Amino acid sequence: MIQITEHADGCIVPVHAQPGARKAGILGEHSGALKVAVTAPPEDGRANKALVEVLAKALDVKRSQVKLLSGATSREKRFLIQGLSRGALKSWLAAMVDE
């Protein structure tokens, strides 16, 4: 189960990153975090920027509403999603993980 935490500006979602993948996208759940694959390599923050792109597109929000809070050099990251309620995010995650 992916643990979504409420924040004053939105919700925090834990993400397990998979940089250098063949195809970008949401892969499901991994150890309590949302597993997201990106084709960008983990160099100079390119994978982090790609993660923001994938999350923003999947959640149908602007890139400026997705912010990396922690884990810039780790596979385990925490993203702040602004503009979505916890309930909306939970239902979206349930639909994404079930696919």
> Which uninterrupted H or E stretch holds 53?
helix 46-59
Which structural domain, as residue segments, surrounds residue 57? 5-98
Query: Which CATH number belongs to the domain containing residue 30 in this structure?
Result: 3.30.1200.10
Per-residue pLDDT at 73 exceeds 70: yes
Using a cut of 0.85, tell me whether the model's pTM lies above it: yes
Query: By CB neighbour count within 10 A (0-12 exposed, 13-18 middle, 19+ buried), where does 2 fall?
Result: buried
Tens-place pLDDT, residues 20-40: 999 999 999 999 999 999 999
Residue 98: predicted pLDDT: 66
User: Parallel, antiparallel, or unpaired: how do β-strands 10-18 and 5-7 relate?
Assistant: antiparallel
How many distinct structural domains can be found in the chain?
1
Q: How far is CA 52 from the centre of its chain?
A: 7
pLDDT (tens digit per residue) in 41-51: 999 999 999 99
Instruction: Work out the average pLDDT over 68-77.
Output: 96
Task: Dump pLDDT digits (tens) for 54-71.
Answer: 999 999 999 999 999 999
Residue listed under structure tokens 């597993």: 35
**Residue among 92, 85, 93, 96 at smallest CA distance from 7:** 85
